[in-house]
A = this chain, B = another copy of it.
Amino acid sequence: MPYVNIKVTREGVTSEQKAELIEGVTDLLERVLNKNPATTMVVIDEVETDNWGIGGEQVTHRRKRGE
């Protein structure tokens, strides 16, 4: 019954990678907390780099500096 929300920047995450994240998190919750995978929900949010800030600045700016 867990609910997991994963937020990452929108920078070309493939459908296969999303599938791996969903499977990986679901397995983790079964392994650590014995949660039934059938009702584990995972929602992935892809966020534009302009809309994500860290260190007081947009990720867009950090990417331009090669970070």
Contacts and interface: CB of A to CB of B under 8 A. Distances in A.
A8 to B, nearest CB: 5
B56 A7 contact: no
- Number of this chain's copies in the complex: 6
A8 B2 contact: yes
Give chain A's interface residue range (CB within 8 Å of chain B).
35 or more
Interface string A1-23: 11111111100010101111111
Contacts of A52: 1, 41-44
Contact of A51 (B9, B25, B28, B44): B44
Nearest to A35: B8
Nearest to A19: B58
Given A2-B6, A4-B4, A23-B57, A41 B41 contact: yes
